[in-house]
Amino acid sequence: MAAASGLATTAPVCVLVLGMAGSGKTTFVQRLAAHLHGQRCPPYVINLDPAMHDLPLPANIDIRDAVKYKEVMKQYGLGPNGGIVTSLNLFATRFDQVMKFIEKRQNASKYVIIDTPGQIEVFTWSASGTIITEALASSFPSVVVYVMDNSRGTNPITFMSNMLYACSILYKTKLPFIVVMNKTDIIDHSFAVEWMQDFETFQDALNQETSYVSNLTRSMSLVLDEFYSSLKVVGVSAVLSTGLDDFFVQLSKAVDEYEREYRPEYERLRKTLEKAQNKQKREQLEHLWKDMGSVCVQGNTLAGSDDASAMGPSELILTRGTLDEEEERQSDTDDIDHEVTEESHEEPAFRNFTQETRMKYQRSIKPSE
């Protein structure tokens, strides 16, 4: 796999778009795709929302072509959320094929944009979401884009709960992260940026809140200070296509971050996994040798050897020596060198013959002595 082997410059960037229902993910994906088409850099678009009614853009891969969400609900007796989870699980079992499609297209598309279900937890906290994210991130530079409805975040408590969610996704995916504050055509995102950069301003906004969670929110904003300091934030209006240039600047920084910090970690994980798999294979082979060795020793077929485990399976097959000629011809071990096998039988026979001849000769010359 080219991407996996470190040819990072040709590998497409996977942009995983997550966000609460109605935040504008699909509209954002649509605008992003249009923007890239306009720059003669068509992206590869993947829709992972099985319950999407109308996809406003042509997707290269659409989960709805592979899994019929309503059928899944009927067949398994599930509600809408269960149906989405199960559809995604079914799709994840075939994600290796999606990976192959992406690999094939990696010279034609610089970006792979992935739209996810509105029920955000279905993706972020499900096994299939983890499988898909890890499959992408272990082969391609991958970035999580968290789309927020900026107009709904003007309340500091709602803003904080959204940020806590974003933070939890960052911890879960462990990937470079961009927060897209969408719908800036309704309200500019500068208030949110100020809240993140200046603790006092956020406290002032909170002072107008009288609910019991305001104290907790105050403490939380201190806790999130570290999270805010390294966060990439972009204000966007998906309907007006504004802020996209800034988004691509942040995306390029996030890709650098992936190459610098995340790729070595994924490479390390891949090597650990490979080592563990090799060790497992070796152990299985050793068991096989032992098993075959004990069978042959019990059957006394190991002529001239008292250490069965010292031989490999092929050597044990070579010394099996119990088939008659006809069986031997029909056996499926045609690749065995029969001459070698015959030689191994002939050698002790020839040794016996010379010994017997020598004894006969000594007996015959004895009387004349």
Site string for ligand GTP, 186-215 (x = CB under 6 A): x-----------------------------
Of 11, 27, 86, 319, the one binding ligand GTP by CB under 6 A: 27
For residues 91-127, one letter each, b for 16 or more C-beta atoms within 10 angstroms of the residue's C-beta and e for the rest, the string is: bbeebeebbeebbeebeebbbbbbbbbbbbebbbebe
* 80 part of the interface to ligand GTP, by CB under 6 A: no
Q: Smallest distance, Å, CB 214 to ligand GTP? A: 28
* 21 part of the interface to ligand GTP, by CB under 6 A: yes
Q: Which helix H or strand E contains 222, and what residues bound it?
A: helix 213-223
* 50 part of the interface to ligand GTP, by CB under 6 A: no
* 162 part of the interface to ligand GTP, by CB under 6 A: no
How far apart are alpha carbons 16 and 22 in whole angstroms?
A: 17
* 237 part of the interface to ligand GTP, by CB under 6 A: yes
Of 12, 50, 83, 118, the one binding ligand GTP by CB under 6 A: 118
* 23 part of the interface to ligand GTP, by CB under 6 A: yes
- Determine the residue with CB nearest ligand GTP: 118
In 49-208, where does DSSP find H-type helix? 63-66, 69-76, 80-92, 95-104, 120-124, 127-137, 156-173, 190-197, 199-207
List all residues 6 or more positions away from 342 whose beta carbon is below 8 Å from its beta carbon. Answer: none
CB 182 within 8 A of CB 23: yes
* 121 part of the interface to ligand GTP, by CB under 6 A: no
Stretch that binds ligand GTP, among 24-32, 201-209, 245-253, 342-350 (CB under 6 A): 24-32
For residues 221-255, one letter each, b for 16 or more C-beta atoms within 10 angstroms of the residue's C-beta and e for the rest, the string is: beebeebbeebbbbbbbbbebebbeebbebbeebb
* 84 part of the interface to ligand GTP, by CB under 6 A: no
Q: Smallest distance, Å, CB 228 to ligand GTP? A: 23
Q: How far is CA 84 from the centre of its chain?
A: 20
* 24 part of the interface to ligand GTP, by CB under 6 A: yes
Stretch that binds ligand GTP, among 156-164, 232-240, 243-251, 256-264 (CB under 6 A): 232-240
**What DSSP designation does 9 have?**
T
* 22 part of the interface to ligand GTP, by CB under 6 A: yes
- What is the contact surface with ligand GTP in residues (CB under 6 A)? 19, 21-27, 49, 118, 182-183, 185-186, 237-239
